[in-house]
Amino acid sequence: MRKKARKMVTVFLTALLSVLVFVTGCGNQDAATTTSQPAGQASSTDSKAGGTLAKLREKGVLVVGSSNDTPFAFIDKDSKAFVGIDAEIITEIAKRLGIPKVEMKEVKFENLLVELNNYNIDMVTDGMYIKPEREKIAAFTNPWYKEAEALIVRNDSDIKGIDDLKDKVVGGQKGTTFLEYVQELKSQGKIKDVKIFGAQTELLLALNTKKIDAVISDSATSAYTIKHDPSLSIKLVSPYKSKYDGLVGAAVRKEDKELLDAINAELDKLKKEGFVLEVLKKYGLNEDNVVQ
């Protein structure tokens, strides 16, 4: 009898426990999903509902990643303001999206997409070329503008083109398309050696101090830096036939499609209004760099 009674009690308690687990599980499903995510990360459901954009509007701040390279997105050493081609475009877009403030977080160029996917920044805006391998790990906006690489040498150099680099040491910036090109030239026996630098400023300084013979790097960055730094006795080789005519865009996380669509819509308006061309001209570029 006691065995039977114990069995009946056990069955009853098991059934009651199942009901409680079911009810508790249903009631806390959303809370469990939210608390299990890293700080600042939106669930896929939140993203589809526009969660990331809504949170940015509520916070009032968009944090963008840049390697602090001129003339794309950098902190002006005098005014401490966030300026540059990409900086002015994203600041205007953010304002139109209801986000009044844009802050830059300095990140090494090769780590920008890593920091993006680690939720340490909201976007990447740093003159980044839209490339298939990058599109595998991030979503890119429509092209903002286009530009190419430049061959940079000292003012007293006799280098006039790629054919003059066979016995030269050429510098490139880590994580860039241009470094890949320099390494390709080395593998083809067209240059003697490659030296890699982490920042554009280091790259041009090494050229200026004769640690390397030439640089293949971003044309807009190089032209702007040379123009604004009288201590540099270097120049862009001209005429020069470029290999890359890259399309520059900004990157967001793949799940932030609603944010991406909103940015693209405002970007299209800025192009039609002539705002993008005005910004390009301000930093030494022109109509040739516009992507309609």
Answer yes or no: is pLDDT of 60 > 70.
yes
| Angle (nearest 5°) at CA 59 between 58 and 64 | 125
Per cent of the chain over pLDDT 70 is 83
The CATH number for 148-245, chosen from 3.30.9.10, 3.40.640.10, 3.40.50.720, 3.40.190.10, is 3.40.190.10
Please measure the distance between the N-terminal and C-terminal CA atoms of the chain and give it in whole angstroms.
87
Given a cut of 90, whether residue 29 has pLDDT beyond it is no
Percent with pLDDT over 90 in the chain:
69
The pLDDT tens digits for 111-133 are 999 999 999 999 999 999 999 99
> 44-146+247-289 with 148-245: one CATH topology?
yes
For residue 96, pLDDT over 80 is answered with yes
pLDDT at 224: 86
pLDDT in tens, 243-264: 888 899 999 999 999 999 999 9
The reported pLDDT for the residue numbered 20 is 35
The rounded distance, in Å, linking the Cα atoms of 220 and 212 is 21
Burial category of 26 from C-beta neighbours within 10 Å (exposed 0-12, middle 13-18, buried 19 and up): exposed
**CATH code matching the domain that covers 44-146+247-289, chosen among 3.30.450.20, 3.40.1130.10, 3.40.605.10, 3.40.190.10:** 3.40.190.10
In the chain, where are the structural domains located?
44-146+247-289, 148-245
Pair 2, 10: CB distance under 8 Å: no
Give me the pLDDT at residue 51, please.
87
Summarize pLDDT for 187-197 with one digit per residue, the tens.
999 999 999 99
Cis previous bond, 239, omega within 30: yes
Position 50 pLDDT exceeds 90 = no
Res. 182: pLDDT tops 90: yes
